[in-house]
Amino acid sequence: MAVRKIGEQWVVEFMFRGIRTFKRLPKGRTKQDAQALESRIRNQIFDSVDLGRLPDPPLERVIREWGKKKDEKTKAHMNAVLGALPKDSKLSEVGQIRDHLVLLWEELAPGTVNRRISILKATAKYAFRKKWTRSNLSAECPLLPEPRYVRREVTADMLDKLLEAATTPRARALIAGAAFTGMRLSEVLRIDPAKDIEGNALRVAGKNGEDRLVPIPKALKPHLAQFPMTAGWRNVYRGFLRARERAGLQLRFHDLRHLAATLMAEAGHHPLVIADVLGHKSLQTTRKYTHPSIESKREALGAITSGLQQAKRKAARKAAKT
């Protein structure tokens, strides 16, 4: 039997299409769970083995096979591609599909379109590795040129204007969460004081999978009542976009993280401390986030003049003594 019980655990064991499968389910799972797993595995084997025997497999089927174990963000872009595929699209047509989607999404930002084209590129490479196609068709899916982002200086005055222009407490909390802690947008959106506060700090799950403790500054405490933000992230993010428009500012949300890093650096804090606050593994990355202001540079250059004058006075006193 493909499904049987060993001790207190159900086991799925069978041979199908030349592939042997043995899976032990956790304790507490039922026979129905085991049967459902058996069916799911058989379907996966059928897709992965028989898909390559088709002369020109459906592109949708290949994309779904490639994307089975991808993260949620990748799957969101994958689903956007799947939803826009022309009916009966074939793997061999991936280059033409790419051109079709570029025209379809011409109003979207090039970066967004490129993330979706990357789904087609990755799918084409995957199909070639699986020998479902005789050539690597990923070259037929070139990315769009993206305008290089020029960082704009963000000052404390600009932050004040942005906070004043925010029309809702939730929008102010979103902006404060990034500006006063240096957290990423995704990290701010995940704040849940009931679960994340440890002492006087927030435990933040970073994008590299590692947690870090971020102290809660006084400026953020009045905004904690707005967390967790249960509305969809797009609805929450609109609060920042409206505030930016009302304040007449040109900046990205991520610039608030740059502002936090720069202010910490100008206050003289050690780069290792700043890197730990931001969740950077490399000091090189942290260096990209710290942008000394013109005033700081002017003060630094002023120190050269002061140093020279001090050296001259010292030399003069020494000469006078002799």
Question: DSSP state, 135?
Answer: S
Q: Which pLDDT belongs to residue 2?
A: 83
What are the residues whose beta carbons fall under 8 Å from the beta carbon of 249, sequence distance 6 or more? 158, 161, 162
CB 17 within 8 A of CB 45: yes
Number of Cβ within a 10 Å radius of residue 38:
20
Q: pLDDT averaged over the chain?
A: 85
pLDDT recorded at residue 8:
86
Q: Check residue 12 and give its pLDDT.
A: 86
d(C-alpha 86, C-alpha 265), whole Å: 52
Instruction: Tell me: pLDDT of 225 over 70.
Output: yes
Q: Which pLDDT belongs to residue 228?
A: 92
pLDDT greater at residue 228 or residue 42: 228
pLDDT in tens, 85-144: 998 899 999 999 999 999 999 878 888 899 999 999 999 999 999 888 888 999 999 999
- Indicate whether this model's pTM tops 0.75: no
Q: Does the structure show a pLDDT above 90 at 32?
A: no
Does residue 238 surpass a pLDDT of 90?
Answer: yes
pLDDT over 70 at 224, yes or no: yes
- Classify domain 156-291 at the CATH topology level: hpI Integrase; Chain A (1.10.443)
In this structure, how many other beta carbons lie within 10 angstroms of the beta carbon of residue 150? Answer: 5
Ordered by start, the domain boundaries in the chain are: 3-46, 59-140, 156-291
Percentage of the chain beyond pLDDT 90 is: 35
pLDDT of residue 51: 60
Contacts 24+ apart (CB under 8 A), 107-116: 110/144, 110/145, 110/146, 110/147, 111/146, 113/144, 114/143, 114/144, 114/146, 115/77, 116/77, 116/80, 116/81
Using CA atoms, how far apart are residues 154 and 220, in angstroms rounded to an integer?
A: 19
Answer with the residue of higher pLDDT: 131 or 247. Answer: 247
How far apart are the C-alpha atoms of 18 and 108, rounded to whole Å? 46
Res 108: pLDDT: 82
Measured distance CA(225)–CA(169) in Å, rounded: 9
Interior angle at CA 38, CA 35 and CA 44, nearest 5: 145
Average pLDDT (267-290) is 83
* pLDDT recorded at residue 16: 72
pLDDT in tens, 165-192: 999 999 999 999 999 999 998 899 999 9
Strands (E), the chain: 3-6, 9-16, 19-24, 197-198, 201-205, 211-215
Three-state DSSP state, 131: coil
Section 294-310 average pLDDT = 69
Per-residue confidence (pLDDT) for residue 247, from 0 to 100: 94
| pLDDT of the residue at 17 | 64
Cβ atoms of 1 and 9 closer than 8 Å: no
Q: Which of 225, 230, 165, 228 is nearest to 192 (CA)?
A: 228
CB-based contact 287:270 (threshold 8 Å): no
Distance CA 155, CA 263 (A): 9
Q: Is 235 exposed, middle or buried (0-12, 13-18, 19+ CB in 10 A)?
A: exposed
